[in-house]
Structure formats: structure tokens, C-alpha cells
């Protein structure tokens, strides 16, 4: 994941895909204090298969005792000793030369570093009190019962079972070759006795069958609330919101079990939509409340259409 270690202090630095060292705190990812350090002294960059160190300074950068030629890229290898100044400068070594990754680093106990993909639960999948994911706008966010919050490099996430620090090693790539779906529509089919709920998702002209899951009834309940609000004349911004405690009571669940169902439903659908570029979340959350996130669905009960909601054509957010 790209880590260099300060040999004097023991500090580990998680490298971004383009990581700048220097005295200018506003422009450097890692600030260096020595007087002979330049404002922008050097950078370490991942070129797709290896780490490269480039010197931009007046007073020099060294690898294993050899001064680098200014402006030239030099490959960094695990175990190399790096010095960013000639007079009493601190020494660093590359201890991990794997590609850059967005990670959560535990700050308490001996927990392992968590490599982030698209969707992750804290403290674990059995107790998913916090969800971390890439939003529809391509930004990392974390979500808890109080709503959705932006997640920036260096932010601390607190939980009763642990404390983690978020390191954004590389930006979310919005140019990767993923599809941008024009239409996403949900089809619920619930049995007449309400005991079985099946779910399919239509993405443009393709159908994904998600089968029957226990958490589908929770999604159905949220969709029904959104449908009712729409029929009562509510606009898309206000449709479907239910207080979290009320939702748990409606389903006969403890709040912790509701969180598990929310996590499982979101993970299942997030996995199903993995070919899409940053799709919206199936469940929206805010302080004390939640709702079904897609304003485009149909509900079949037995062989009868119970109701349907169609996205407004002017809505570009989905």
C-alpha cells in the first residue's frame, strides 16, 4: 500500500499516488522541518507498477547515500534509505512497495489495516453501525444513524469498539470504464401472505434477479412508504422518510438487527450494481431517519400490481 517509515521517530507515512514532501505545509502531503528543506523538496509517485522518487530541491535528496539528479525519476525499492537534506536530515525507508490504497488504520489496539474497496462496514459485518462507501458524486463518505458525512484524508472515525484513521492514498477514478445507467428500476414481488419477497433490478434493458432475501421485506416496507407519500402529493425530496425507531418497531426488530438488514441489502445491491459508475445508494439516511433511495419501482402482491412509482423525467440525479 506504499509506506515509508521515519527511522528516528518510527512514524509511518501512507503514500498517496502522488505524494509531496517539503517545508510548505499547504502544498506538501508530508511537511519536513529542517532549514535546508525546500518548500517543495521531492515527490514520490506511483506510475502504475513501481514507486518513483523525484528531487526538486536546492540541497538534494539521497537514496542509500547517493544524491539524486534533480528532476529525474529514480525507482524506489523496499528497504531503500531516503534522506531529504544534507545536514542532519531525518532518514526514511520504504517498508511497503505495494500499490497505493485507500485504507483505515486502527489507532487503538492491534487491529489490522483495512483496505477499502467500494463498501465497508465498521466495526464489522456482524455489527455494521457505520458504512463507508463511494458516493454518487465520487467522494468517500461514512454513514451512521445520524446521516451521511464526507470523509477526508486524515479524518478520525470513532466507535465504541475501535478508532480508525482514514488515509486517501488515491482519488476515486471517475474516468474508469464503468457504465453510467440511464434507468434503474426495482421490481418487488411479494406473496399474498407477505411471507416471501423477491426482488429484481432492471438496468436499462438488463434484468438482475436478486432472488428472495429476508432483508427484501425491509426494502419493500420502505418502498411502500415512499409510494404512499407520493400518492399523497409529497415531492421527491420529502417522500418516504421513516424514523429509524419506528421502522424497527414496524418490522419487529431490535435497532442492531435493523442495521444488519440495512447493511446486507445495501451490500447485495451494491455488488449487483458493481459495473456501474457510483450508483446511488438503495437506502438514504439522515439524522434519525431512512427511506428507499430509488424513486422508480413497481410492487406486485400475488398476481396484482399493488402500486408503482416512476421517476420524474426532469430528475437528473439518478
Q: What is the pLDDT along the chain (318 residues), one digit of tens a residue?
A: 899 999 989 988 889 889 999 999 999 999 998 888 999 999 999 998 999 999 999 999 999 999 999 999 999 999 999 999 876 678 999 999 999 888 998 887 667 889 887 789 998 888 899 999 988 888 899 998 888 999 988 899 998 888 999 988 766 554 444 555 568 999 999 999 999 999 999 998 899 999 999 999 999 999 999 999 999 999 999 999 999 999 999 999 998 999 999 999 999 998 898 888 777 789 999 999 999 999 999 999 999 999 999 876 544 444
Q: Give the pLDDT score at 181.
A: 56
What is the model's pLDDT at position 318? 42
| Residue whose C-alpha cell reads 526514511 in the numeric block | 92
Q: Per the structure block, which three cell numbers stand in for 11?
A: 512514524
Please provide the CATH number assigned to the domain covering 3-96.
2.60.200.20
Question: Residue 243 region, left (φ>0) first, then alpha (ψ -120 to 50), else beta?
Answer: beta
**Cα–Cα separations (whole angstroms), residue 203 to 187, 276, 289:** 11, 9, 27
User: Residue 111 has what pLDDT?
Assistant: 76
- Cα–Cα separations (whole angstroms), residue 171 to 22, 29, 75, 223, 274: 21, 14, 22, 34, 18
- The SS3 call for residue 219 is helix
Distance CA 3, CA 111 (A): 17
What pLDDT sits at residue 315?
47
Q: Are strands 304-309 and 140-144 parallel, antiparallel or unpaired?
A: unpaired
> CA–CA separation, 202 vs 193, rounded Å?
25
Neighbours of 42 (CB within 10 A): 23
Instruction: Give the span between the Cα atoms of 14 and 164, in whole angstroms.
Output: 14
- Domain limits of the chain? 3-96, 103-167, 184-309
Amino acid at each position: 500500500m506504499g509506506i515509508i517509515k521515519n527511522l528516528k521517530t518510527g512514524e509511518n507515512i501512507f503514500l498517496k499516488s502522488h505524494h509531496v514532501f517539503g517545508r510548505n505545509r499547504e502544498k506538501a502531503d508530508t511537511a519536513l522541518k529542517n532549514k535546508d528543506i525546500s518548500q517543495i523538496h521531492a515527490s514520490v509517485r506511483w506510475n502504475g507498477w513501481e514507486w518513483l522518487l523525484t528531487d526538486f530541491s536546492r540541497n538534494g535528496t539521497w537514496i542509500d547515500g547517493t544524491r539524486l539528479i534533480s528532476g529525474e525519476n529514480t525507482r524506489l525499492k523496499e528497504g531503500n534509505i531516503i534522506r531529504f537534506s544534507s545536514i542532519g536530515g531525518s532518514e526514511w525507508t520504504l517498508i511497503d512497495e505495494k500499490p497505493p490504497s485507500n485504507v483505515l488504520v486502527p489507532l487503538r489496539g492491534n487491529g489490522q489495516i483495512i483496505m477499502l474497496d467500494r463498501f465497508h462496514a465498521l466495526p464489522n459485518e456482524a455489527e455494521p453501525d457505520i458504512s463507508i462507501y463511494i458516493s454518487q458524486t465520487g467522494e468517500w463518505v461514512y454513514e451512521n444513524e445520524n446521516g451521511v458525512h464526507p470523509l477526508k484524508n486524515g479524518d478520525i472515525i470513532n466507535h465504541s469498539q475501535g478508532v480508525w484513521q482514514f488515509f486517501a492514498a488515491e482519488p476515486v477514478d471517475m474516468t474508469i470504464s464503468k457504465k453510467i445507467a440511464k434507468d434503474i428500476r426495482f421490481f418487488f414481488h411479494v406473496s399474498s401472505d407477505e411471507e416471501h419477497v423477491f426482488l429484481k433490478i432492471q438496468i436499462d434493458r438488463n434484468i438482475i434477479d436478486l432472488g428472495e432475501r429476508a432483508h427484501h421485506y425491509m426494502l419493500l416496507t420502505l418502498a411502500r412508504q415512499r409510494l404512499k407519500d407520493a400518492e399523497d402529493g409529497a415531492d421527491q425530496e420529502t417522500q418516504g422518510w421513516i424514523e429509524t425507531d419506528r421502522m424497527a418497531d414496524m418490522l419487529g426488530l431490535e435497532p442492531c438487527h435493523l442495521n444488519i438488514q440495512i447493511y446486507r441489502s445495501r451490500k447485495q445491491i451494491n455488488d449487483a450494481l458493481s459495473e456501474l459508475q457510483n450508483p446511488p445508494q438503495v437506502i438514504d439516511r439522515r439524522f434519525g431517519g431512512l427511506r428507499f433511495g430509488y424513486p422508480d419501482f413497481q410492487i406486485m402482491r400475488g398476481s396484482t400490481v399493488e402500486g408503482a412509482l416512476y421517476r420524474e423525467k426532469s430528475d437528473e440525479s439518478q
